[in-house]
Structure 1
Amino acid sequence: MQLTVHPFDLPLRDAFRTTHESRTVQPTLIVRIHADGLDGLGEAPMTRYYGLESQRCKGELEAVAPALAALDLRDLARGGVGEVLKRIGTETLNPFLRCALDVALHDLWAKQQGKRLGLLWDQDRLRRIPTCYTIGLAPIEEMVRKLRAFPWPVYKIKLGGGADDLDIIRKLREHTDAPFYVDANTGWTARQAIELSGPLRELGVVFIEQPLPTADRAGQAEVIKHAVLPVLADESCQTEGDVEKCAGVFSGINIKIVKCGGLLPARRMIARARSLGLQVMAGCMTESSVGISAIAQLLPELDYADMDGAMLLAEDPARGVTFDPLTGYARYPDEPGTGAVLKVATRGPGG
């Protein structure tokens, strides 16, 4: 198996703002693993907030290439993705980089069997979950403009602790009947979360995501006790070990495969969350169709989905899973693996 890493800069259609940062370009690394005429693709968005830098991370990924080159598709067929990851020594890599390798190997494994990845897993084939479309934090007029320019059946609204948070939802509600998910991005206090939950429910909000800073477990315990809306963990649930900690203080968890290290740990997190009575959402970063097509394989295992990362791009270097604008449901291409295919020569800026 041969590994190559291709850096890309993904231009955004609009500036994307949260309480953590604002950006107009998202650097990303796309990993390609080649074996016996087949390519597996994975992605690691270089999110500045998590301290990731393209050249350094590219070097760390390329350092596993010699170990990978000693293996072939028969090793993947015999031992599966998890065993190959162990053999090439990925335990010390950043989870974003482990995720890129995990996804590329899953893509390759499914292509080897000639089937779409999700169809190789035990899933409810009739279960269909729509993805939301995210309206980033901005002045109210700008958020209204973005919502009106992109009709969608369900939206995630980014808020951040300002005095106008409720006014934002009221104003957006004037322009759509679609359900809202609200992501406070750790920007609220416990009192705000509790007091806002009632008016937000009346305005058609389905749940609140990560209202408090991760350290405020006492406040979160009060929120789950008194808020009238479900509350999902995001920053408080990044790895497998975090799932247990969310039981009793959250209604559910939002899993991001880049944060937990790939599809293998994500599916274990889903199973553990279900055993604890937690709802499950899968989210994304700002990433291309390579990453989104991988996350979309999880859809039948979820309650909610936020897989709009590629829709936020002005230009996508790949094609793959898309979403119906009327229903929000995934449209899977007739391709084995995750369905992701690079549209451009496998060489990004500096690649």
Structure 2
Amino acid sequence: MKLHAQIERWPVAGAFTISRGAKTHVDVVVAEIVDSDHIGRGEGTAIYYHGESAESVLAEILAQADAVAGGLTRAELQTRLPRGTARNALDCALWDLDAKRTGTPVWKLAGLTEPKPLVTAFTISLGEPDRMEADARTSAHLPLLKLKLAGEGDEARVAAVRRGAPDARLIVDANEAWTGRDIAAEAAILTRYGVELIEQPVKAGQDDLLDGVASPIPLAADESCQDRFDLVRCAGRYQAINIKLDKAGGLTEALALAAEARDMGLDVMVGCMLATSLGIAPAFLVSGAARWVDLDGALLLAKDRPAAMVSADGLLEPPGPDLWG
């Protein structure tokens, strides 16, 4: 087998803004594993808050060229690389390669049920309330909206989005911006607007701030939960976890993480980084048993790949074999 990898830049439609800043493009890393007439592909987006960059991810992937040439398996990959974006791209490429070799879709190889269309959240970027209200009005026909929050002034933002989209379900992502605030009181305010989930209210590593917090809205760990090793710390503090393949290090770990989380009584959300449909496709397979799905990373781009995943009115279709898996 031969390994190829490269960095690709994809423009964002407008700008994608969260509490940590704005993005006008995303750099993804694509790994290709070639075996005879088959090519397996996987895509990853560097997690900047872990210190990753597209360049560092590319270097990690290319460092596995000899292992790939020697017949690297998914099981071996789990111990050769730590969790993170490089392992995700390679893991997904290996799944895709196996699907093409055998003529069997990944969902069957993984022992999953056949994927069906899923409702995905659509993100309203962080901004002033009037801007967020306007964005919500253009998306008011969608069933589920996700709001980026920043701490100060969040009630005004949520109220504005609710005015713009009175019938949509709402989830919010604080992106760690509620550290030092009264989480239960902040959540109680948001119950007025029908918010059904709050992601990552406090900074990762300061999860003890949630000890004893009785939030009327479920709290989900995002930055605080990467893979199965983080579940013990999250249990009792969060009621849900957000699984992202780039954090977990691939589809293999993401499936195991979802199963173990449910066994522990935690609800599952499946999310993504900004990515093309090639990065979203494997995550879709984890989403079948998820309570919340947030796979709009490709929908926020100005353009997508050929054979891209199709979304209509918030309903995301499963990936086709020409794309992945």
User: Do they fold alike, i.e. is TM over 0.5?
Assistant: yes
1:330 equivalent to 2:316? Answer yes
RMSD: 2.2
> 91, 97, 106: which is aligned to 2:95?
106
Residue identity (%): 33
- Match of 2:300, as an amino acid? L
List runs of 5+ in structure 2 lacking aligned partners.
Answer: none
Q: Which residues of 2 match residues 195-206 of structure 1 at below 5 A?
A: 195-206=185-196
Aligned to 1:82: 75
Counterparts of 1:322 and 1:335, CA distance in 2: 13
> 131, 135, 138: which is aligned to 2:127?
138
Secondary structure at the aligned position of 2:119 is classed as coil
Shift of 1:132: 0.4
Secondary structure at the aligned position of 2:81 is classed as coil
Aligned to 1:170: 159
Q: Which residues of 2 match residues 1-351 of structure 1 at below 5 A?
A: 1-71=1-71, 81-83=74-76, 85=77, 90-91=80-81, 95-125=84-114, 129-150=118-139, 151-162=141-152, 164-176=153-165, 177-189=167-179, 191-223=181-213, 226-325=214-313, 328-335=314-321, 338-339=324-325
- Match of 1:261, as an amino acid? G
Counterparts of 1:183 and 1:222, CA distance in 2: 21
- Match of 1:103, as an amino acid? C
Secondary structure at the aligned position of 2:298 is classed as helix
Counterparts of 1:218 and 1:49, CA distance in 2: 20
Shift of 1:142: 2.2
Compute the TM-score of the two structures, normalised by the length of structure 2.
Answer: 0.91
Q: Do 1:128 and 1:300's aligned partners in 2 also have CA atoms closer than 8 Å?
A: no
Q: Do 1:257 and 1:295's aligned partners in 2 also have CA atoms closer than 8 Å?
A: yes
Counterparts of 1:305 and 1:333, CA distance in 2: 15
Q: Deviations over 1:259-294 (max 9, x none)?
A: 111111111111111111000111100111111011
Counterparts of 2:144 and 2:3, CA distance in 1: 38
- Match of 2:63, as an amino acid? A
Q: Do 2:117 and 2:318's aligned partners in 1 also have CA atoms closer than 8 Å?
A: no
Counterparts of 1:330 and 1:281, CA distance in 2: 15
- Match of 1:312, as an amino acid? L
Compute the TM-score of the two structures, normalised by the length of structure 1.
Answer: 0.85
User: In structure 2, do the counterparts of structure 1 residues 180 and 14 end up closer, same or farther at CA, with 3 Å as the change threshold?
Assistant: same
- Match of 1:186, as an amino acid? E
Shift of 1:41: 1.0
Q: Deviations over 1:53-108 (max 9, x none)?
A: 3334323311211221232xxx75xxxx224x26xx7325x611011000111111
Report how many aligned residue pairs link the two structures.
323
Shifted more, 266-275 versus 106-115: the winner is: 106-115
Aligned to 1:343: none
User: In structure 2, do the counterparts of structure 1 residues 115 and 330 end up closer, same or farther at CA, with 3 Å as the change threshold?
Assistant: farther
| Runs of 4+ residues over 4 Å off in structure 1 | 124-129
List runs of 5+ in structure 1 lacking aligned partners.
Answer: 340-351
Shift of 1:299: 1.6
Secondary structure at the aligned position of 1:314 is classed as coil
Shift of 1:44: 1.8
Q: Do 2:134 and 2:164's aligned partners in 1 also have CA atoms closer than 8 Å?
A: no
